[in-house]
Amino acid sequence: MFGKRYLLVSAGLFAALYCFGQAAGPSAFLSSASGEDGFGPTPLAPGNGEPAPEAVTLQDALARAQKIYSPYLSTVTDARLAHEDYRQARNGMLPSISYHQEYLGTEGNGKTPNGRYVTNDGVHVYRAWGVFRQDFPPGFFSGAPYKRAAAAAAIADAKAEIARRGLVVTVTKAFYTLVAAQRKYATAQQSRSLAQRFLENTRNLERGGEVAHADVIKAQVQLDQQQVAFEEAELAMTNAHLALAALISPNLDQNFTAVDDMDHAPVLPPLEEVKRLAARNNQDVRAALETLEMAKQDVTIARAGFFPTLSFTGNYGIEANAFALHSRAAAFPELGPLPNLGYFITGTLDIPIWNWGTTRSKLHQAEYRRRQAEADLSQAQRDALNNLYSYYNEAAAARTEVQQLREAADLASESLRLTNLRYQAGEATVLEVVDAQSTLAAARNAYDDGLARYWVALANLGTLTGVFPQ
């Protein structure tokens, strides 16, 4: 008689638990949650004229972050500056043309047409020159400054690409941390709701004298624990939402929702394909190669310091006492008008003789940097190979665990269904059913964490290959 009455009073609780156990799967259980019936987070709703929250995908988040994330933008700026240095180095190897004009007014002495300053031919001197100049600094004929600037620009490009790939990892981690937190919030909300119903049923049973007060205490403890878990899940979701907003919103606008596509993770490519992509697209190795090239050009430039420096300047125009094509010379007025337009050429040769070993010291510095660049390149190649296998193994393990966690969640769902049937037949207690429900919630949380880990592992692998989750 006691067992029949116990089952009749607990029928409502069984129905709720049985419906919970019949969820289609871990992803369907979470993606169909809503905030109005106690089975999920309440979505952001517009109010007081506030627009509806915008649905943001991972690709949307990446595009937004690239526009506002300061560390990444700093590397882009450095790359642009390096390209301007490259253009300046290229232009510095070409001749320059300029226009020069002067007027020199000298106080006269009152007796001769010459001024009081003997450096001038007359009281009035006019200069109007077109200047053509070509410098041949050390390393000019080897093109070392130009090659060095090109290598520096390539290094800056590689660092900008490294920063972009790192940003992908950061945003991917923040995005799927938020998605997983939303799913955990839905699970915690449903677990709290079921714990509340269980407490109400145990109180009804206690009033009917069919269960001891100890069962009510256990139910109250369980509800308190579920309430704490719910609050922690809500806090985690809020913090994850704020962290993503800091990456993608310039004014920290949180009026958006993250599109839950976590179940549609890309397939992990074969290892051989990953190796091929990494060999072609690894930016760390590329930066190390360009650094070595720049160090080699520094050695060439430093060695050229032992050789002469040549410069050539050609001027064409006038330098006369009148601003005209023809005029009388102040010193020889009897010769009549003479042509003013003409040219003069200046060639300069500087030969280094002695500077107390400074040039040789600079050469030694450049050689030290070159040897260090060679060591850095070797280290970068070893690190790239190590990271390739490490990241790939991480992604492969995460993929395998996701499959296992999905199976565990499905088995937990089936276990809850069977426990409900045993409860129907009077062979299990309510606590066993609730324990099965808690196991299912834990299994689904683990499955969500595994999916997020797999997405981040793919993003980490993309830092080597340049191919990111789609």
Decide if 291 contacts 377 (C-beta within 8 A).
yes
Decide if 98 contacts 313 (C-beta within 8 A).
no
Instruction: List alpha helices for 37-143, DSSP H.
Output: 58-68, 70-92
Percentages of the chain per state (helix, strand, coil), in multiples of 5 = 65, 10, 25
DSSP 54: E
**Domain boundaries along the sequence of the chain:** 7-93+140-307+352-465
* pLDDT tens profile 336-390: 888 888 888 989 988 889 989 998 999 999 999 999 999 999 999 999 999 999 9
Cα distance between residue 360 and residue 354, in whole Å? 11
Measured in residues, the chain has a length of 470
List, in order, residues 6 or more apart from 303 with CB less than 8 Å away: 363, 366
The pLDDT score that the predictor gives to residue 398 is 93
The pLDDT score that the predictor gives to residue 92 is 85
Instruction: List alpha helices for 305-424, DSSP H.
Output: 358-424
Token pair recorded at residue 371 = 């040897």
Cα distance between residue 458 and residue 462, in whole Å? 6
The pLDDT score that the predictor gives to residue 14 is 35
- Torsion-angle region of 427 (φ positive above 0: left; ψ -120 to 50: alpha; else: beta): alpha
The pLDDT score that the predictor gives to residue 42 is 42
The pLDDT score that the predictor gives to residue 15 is 37
The pLDDT score that the predictor gives to residue 110 is 67
Beta bridge partners of 100: 129
Cα distance between residue 175 and residue 168, in whole Å? 10
Instruction: List alpha helices for 208-270, DSSP H.
Output: 213-248
The pLDDT score that the predictor gives to residue 41 is 41
CA dihedral 421, 424, 426, 430 (to 10 degrees): 90
The pLDDT score that the predictor gives to residue 49 is 57
Mean pLDDT of the chain: 82
Decide if 283 contacts 165 (C-beta within 8 A).
yes
DSSP 123: S
Token pair recorded at residue 276 = 């091929």
The rounded average pLDDT for each run of 10 residues, N- to C-terminus, in the chain (470 residues) is 37 38 36 35 48 89 94 95 92 88 78 65 82 84 88 94 94 95 91 82 78 79 88 94 94 89 88 90 92 92 89 88 80 79 88 90 93 94 93 93 91 84 69 81 92 93 83
Cα distance between residue 214 and residue 212, in whole Å? 5
The pLDDT score that the predictor gives to residue 69 is 94
The pLDDT score that the predictor gives to residue 39 is 34
Return phi, psi of residue 198, to 5°: -65, -40
For the entire predicted model, the pTM comes to 0.77
The pLDDT score that the predictor gives to residue 429 is 76
Cα distance between residue 439 and residue 447, in whole Å? 12
Decide if 143 contacts 86 (C-beta within 8 A).
no
Find the radius of gyration of the CA atoms of the chain. Answer: 40
The pLDDT score that the predictor gives to residue 371 is 95
Decide if 172 contacts 463 (C-beta within 8 A).
no
CA dihedral 417, 420, 424, 429 (to 10 degrees): 160
Helix axes 213-248 and 58-68, enclosed angle (nearest 10): 50
Helix axes 11-21 and 430-465, enclosed angle (nearest 10): 20
DSSP 292: H
Fold exhibited by the domain 7-93+140-307+352-465: Outer membrane efflux proteins (OEP) (1.20.1600)
Which amino acid is it at 379? Answer: Q
